[in-house]
Amino acid sequence: MIPGGGQPNMQQLLQQAQKMQQDLARAQEELANTEVDGQAGGGLVRATVTGSGELRALKIDPKAVDPEDTETLADLVVAAVQAANANAQALQQQKLGPLAQGLGGGSGIPGLPF
């Protein structure tokens, strides 16, 4: 609610938008520097990705390697990377979700994107 029914304080709105932008940039940087893991085959294959989804490491237990069955190993690798990416998306929701909600109507003024 705007006191006195006047126009919103544009300086205050710009400051709020700038703070949200800074918070978003800080959260994105934090995601890029945070690593999360995913695994498949009971831990035979482990993938590590950043919170922003960049694949950083892949560990394969020698027990998962069968020269006669490379398809299973490939499936395990894909599943581990998918699990790691799902964990990264959950982390993104945790870090960026509150900021996105603030951007979606934090000012309370219809028509403004912040």
What average pLDDT does the chain have? 83
Which pLDDT value is given to residue 113? 47
What pLDDT does 7 receive? 64
41 sits in the region (left: phi over 0; alpha: psi -120 to 50; else beta) called left
The yes-or-no verdict on residue 27 having pLDDT over 70 is: yes
Q: Do residues 17 and 11 make contact, with C-beta atoms less than 8 angstroms apart? A: no
Q: Which residues pair with 59 in a beta bridge?
A: 46
CB 70 within 8 A of CB 78: no
